[in-house]
Structure 1
Amino acid sequence: MKRAGQAVQFDRYGAVDELHFVPQEMPTASRDELVVEVVAAGLNHLDSYVRAGDFAAEVPLTFPARQGSCFAGIVRARGKDVHGIAVGADVLGHAVGNGAHASYVVVPATAVVLKPPTVEWEVAGGLYLAGTTALAIIRNLRVGPDDVVVITAAAGGVGHLQVQLAITAGATVIGTGSAHNHDYIRSLGAVPVTYGDGLIERIRTAAHDRPITALIDNHGSSGDLAEQLGVVRSRFVSTEDRRDVELKFYTADGIDPEPADLLRHLVRLIEQHSLRMLVSGFYPFQYLQQATADLDARHSRGKVIVGMKTAVTGAGVSSHYLGQKARAFHESVA
């Protein structure tokens, strides 16, 4: 008898209240696919934008539609052409065509990588989109020890990873953020500065008058800032540039090897304690609407994650590990 679960669905473009749960049976895998029972899944702003219809041309939907790109889970079945990933293996990756906000997801085997036991489920579940976007941008800028990099929204889901990756590459990083995020930005190794009037002077002071060599805009209002700081266009990543990178990985088809290669590198960095992904909101799956509202409020640091209850033990994790952990978090902030 097939295991039963549930999936999140929406029947038209709209706000978070369009989301609803529908029953889901464990699907089957074609010859090059895996069936993964989802343990944790990340939420991304792009999920909300796509659901609202803001990217109808870039991400066309057929209704009823499902959402969710990032996930981590346990392989429950595999196609006959899949080798190297066993049934029962712990994996993380992205749901090709979306659908990660569900009990089960079917994905090409090339869309996942193995999850080491030392990487927590909630971290693995939210790593894909923010992590690949952050790493691709830092690599494309060729950040190095001679750089002074300004990163706006440095405490955000992508920004806090960019800060750490740039510092690991040897750069000096100045991170913009609200005053209540300054201690956190400082803990990452960056110099925090506050938004608002006088920002240019504060950045120059933080840089000790060294030239600013690169700027990454995660905030959406820093075009003039790059020009005033003398950052050349080739080393300025605008919000539109970041959006294009994010869309590339959001719509990845499982054929391009880059997403999985980047994800493997990110997992190695986490294993080496060279990268930390902050989970600031962690909700049981049934609280998906509240988790989405948390993300959409744009006040959280790091990532917002939902956790599903697994049916059996995986990688030494008790069957109710995420359910208990998520409930405890939710009750502590309710």
Structure 2
Amino acid sequence: MAKAVRYNEFGGIDVLRVDEIERPMPGDGQVLVRVRAAGINPSEAVIRTGALADMFPSTFPSGQGSDLAGVIEEVGAGVGGYSPGDEVIGFSENRAAQAELVLVEATNLTRKPESVPWEVAGGLYVAGVTAWGAVRSVQLEQGETVVVSGAAGGVGSLAVQLARRAGATVIGLASESNHAWLQRHGVIPIAYGDDVADRIKAAAPEGVDAFIDTFGNGYVELALALGVTTERIDTIADYAAAAQYGVKTDGGAEAGPGGTVLAELAGLIADGRLEVPIANVYPLAQVREAYTELERRHTHGKIVLRP
């Protein structure tokens, strides 16, 4: 038996529980991973409410979560390159990562570098691949200026670093408590609130070339008001605005093969060239408390569960 996060109906945080489930058995091309850390993400909270049921249908009882890192316990038929005992980073396509034992397609794994902490590895997939895809989508060139909203959040904190690696000048919109962290990473911090457009213009007197919105709540309109063209605006949070104005929504699956991107990001972390801030770590039994913190939308970096 193994513990796993489950819910039997769409709803708020109160529908979450931790159940005992039968030990999964790996099939062809699969491995069984004993999870050491599993990240949580805003998209999971939205899926749980049923708001995206047409896009992400659920069969109850439903599991939850994509991000994971752990140790391989069993290897199914047809799997090459992995053995029991290997430490891996990966993702579940079945929304089942928040559990002690998870079946994972071998193609959705990459090896965990020894120097990458479990919490960082376990929270890497969704935020990392989404940030990678969003930065790629706005086609940054050396010397250009990009604005990132939600710049200290799970996705934003990685997007600003990847944008800097692309050679861009990065303006990060974040609460003042996160400005010192942004400055340490070469980002120009700007606070949210009234007159934010004027503060951005003052920081970028030659104009803004691209905009990555990880927060929603009117930032697509702000990007347009700053003169950014639609093909260089990417939002991962405001799909209504994207449909209205024709801006991009790249990130996640659009980023490309997840396992390949994971390996690239893990290598950058191992080499000290990318930081994944960890806001908090909760035991699996406190999954409700973890999502309560997440849904306040003021965390710096990732929240992670430890089974």
Normalising to structure 1: TM-score of the pair? Answer: 0.86
* Cα separation, 1, equivalents of 2:132 and 2:253: 13
Mapped pair 1:289 → 2:292: no
Tell me how many residue pairs correspond in the alignment. 298
Mapped pair 1:79 → 2:81: no
Moved over 3 A (4+): 241-249
* Cα separation, 2, equivalents of 1:198 and 1:39: 44
Structure-2 change in CA distance of 1:98 and 1:296 (3 Å): same
The amino acid of 2:271's aligned partner reads Q
Mapped pair 1:219 → 2:215: yes
2:270: which partner in 1?
A: 271
Mapped pair 1:300 → 2:305: no
Q: What are the superposed Cα offsets for residues 178-211 of structure 1, whole Å, 9 maximum, x if unpaired?
A: 122212222221001112222122112112x122
Instruction: Using the TM superposition, name which of 222-231 and 52-61 deviates more.
Output: 222-231
Aligned 8 A contact 1:281 1:294 in 2:
no
Instruction: Using the TM superposition, name which of 16-25 and 128-137 deviates more.
Output: 16-25
2:28: which partner in 1?
A: 31
Mapped pair 1:139 → 2:141: no
1:259: which partner in 2?
A: 258
1:252: which partner in 2?
A: none
Q: CA deviation at 1:243?
A: 9.5
* Residue pairs, 1:120-269, within 5 angstroms: 120-207=117-204, 209-220=205-216, 221-238=218-235, 239-240=238-239, 244-246=249-251, 248=253, 258-269=257-268
Q: CA deviation at 1:246?
A: 4.9
* Residue pairs, 1:58-97, within 5 angstroms: 58-97=55-94
* Cα separation, 1, equivalents of 2:186 and 2:23: 44
Secondary structure at the aligned position of 1:8 is classed as: strand
Aligned 8 A contact 1:24 1:103 in 2:
no
Cα RMSD of the aligned pairs, angstroms, is 1.7
| 5+ long unaligned stretches in structure 1 | 250-255, 309-334
* Cα separation, 2, equivalents of 1:46 and 1:117: 29
Q: CA deviation at 1:24?
A: 2.4
* Cα separation, 1, equivalents of 2:36 and 2:179: 32
Q: CA deviation at 1:140?
A: 2.1
Q: Percent identity among equivalent residues?
A: 36
Secondary structure at the aligned position of 2:3 is classed as: strand
Structure-2 change in CA distance of 1:180 and 1:302 (3 Å): same
Aligned 8 A contact 1:40 1:122 in 2:
yes
Q: What are the superposed Cα offsets for residues 57-111 of structure 1, whole Å, 9 maximum, x if unpaired?
A: 1100011111011000110001120000111101111111111111100111111
1:331: which partner in 2?
A: none
* Residue pairs, 1:318-329, within 5 angstroms: none
Q: CA deviation at 1:149?
A: 0.5
Normalising to structure 2: TM-score of the pair? Answer: 0.93
1:45: which partner in 2?
A: 42
* Cα separation, 2, equivalents of 1:243 and 1:206: 25
Structure-2 change in CA distance of 1:156 and 1:201 (3 Å): same
Structure-2 change in CA distance of 1:159 and 1:113 (3 Å): same
Structure-2 change in CA distance of 1:257 and 1:219 (3 Å): closer
Secondary structure at the aligned position of 1:219 is classed as: coil
* Cα separation, 1, equivalents of 2:96 and 2:194: 43
* Cα separation, 2, equivalents of 1:302 and 1:163: 12
Q: CA deviation at 1:223?
A: 2.2
Q: What are the superposed Cα offsets for residues 12-34 of structure 1, whole Å, 9 maximum, x if unpaired?
A: 00011101111123211112110
